[in-house]
Amino acid sequence: MALADSHQKIGIRKGGVPGGVHPDKALSKELSEMYNADPDLIRPVPLDIFSTHVKPVRAGMGRISKENFKWGIPWDSPWAIHPNNNVDKLIPILEEMKEENWAEHQKFCDDYPNILEDSISRAGSLQGSHLTVEMFPDADELRQKWYIEIERGVLPDAEGDIRAGWSHKQMEEYKAAAKKQTERYARKAVITLLSEVRAPIENIVDKAARYEGGRSGRFVTKTFIGNVHDVVDKMIPMNLADDPEIESLRKEIIDGICDLDPKDLREDKDALKEAGKKAQAIVQKTDKIINRVGQFGAGLAL
């Protein structure tokens, strides 16, 4: 089955919230004439409006992208690839986050006139009386610039893409190029998946090596095991080419790591040592697969 039949792309496009607000260039020219200075060296002090009041909006936009990538794995920017059965679950979550971000932005725009006047007043001592409200964008302009677009896309399927009027040679060249591009993105996606798998396993190696015992030690909570469960759950739908080594790795993690109990590791040094050895072996195996996929793309006949 082609990858395009089992997976989809979801992309988040966002923007329209500036990083800072400057008055127009006319002020630079006016100040340069007043002080007989090079206008390129005169830069009115930016107000702190967007470094403070809009920070929650910008952070919220970032969280939407992170949520998309948390459910899937990166493809070509700004897309993440997802198994079909996850898409209908994820879209409502992203839409709800979008609505929350829009409401946050509207609140800022409602407060913006007062915020702007206050910021201009506080900046006056630095820039004299030259700053006026008219030099800055108004609230309606800021409302219109905001955007978050949640897009769904299909993965390329060279065999299923028949382009009327193309010669046989053109079609074969297109198919070869499309297949090569898909395999390149797939390699990157699989390497990202394996890197996500590797991180919590390596964390176990580190904790096992540094833990010295006692209730205040590094195995008090089950968080580190929960992190392993999270990545293992992604390994079936995101094993894009049904790579047998990745499936073998997944089973090894389940058998050797997922059932570990932090309490046992605190109280039994032999169990702790054994867990560290198993985790180290899994890290090494993961690195080997990453190296193979990255260099040769073996197992990625999509």
What's the total number of domains in the chain?
2
Q: Are residues 224 and 137 in the same domain?
A: no
> Is residue 125 located within the same domain as residue 225?
no
Domain CATH code at residue 235: 1.20.120
Residue 86 lies in a domain: yes
pTM value surpassing 0.85 = no
Residues 140 and 275 in one domain: no
Of 161, 156, 154, 164, the closest CA to residue 87 belongs to: 154
Domain presence at residue 159 = no
pLDDT in tens, 117-139: 887 777 665 555 566 777 777 88
In a domain, 143, yes or no: yes
Average pLDDT of the residues in 183-208: 86
Order of strands, sheet of 73-74, starting from the edge strand that comes earlier in the sequence: 73-74, 79-83, 7-15, 147-154
Same domain membership, residue 88 and residue 200: no
Domain of residue 83, residue span: 3-154
Which of 131, 154, 177 is the last residue in one of the domains?
154
Crossing angle of helices 55-71 and 84-127, rounded to 10°: 160
Asked whether residue 28 falls in the same domain as residue 147, the answer is: yes
Percent of the chain with pLDDT over 90: 27
Q: Where residue 301 falls among pLDDT bands split at 50, 70, 90?
A: very low
Which has more confidence, 57 or 121?
A: 57
Q: How many CB atoms lie within 10 A of CB 109?
A: 19
Same domain, residue pair 251 and 136: no
Q: Are residues 256 and 289 in the same domain?
A: yes
Per-residue pLDDT tens for 61-86? 999 999 999 998 888 888 999 999 99
Which of 67-81, 117-131, 159-173, 253-267 is most confident? 67-81
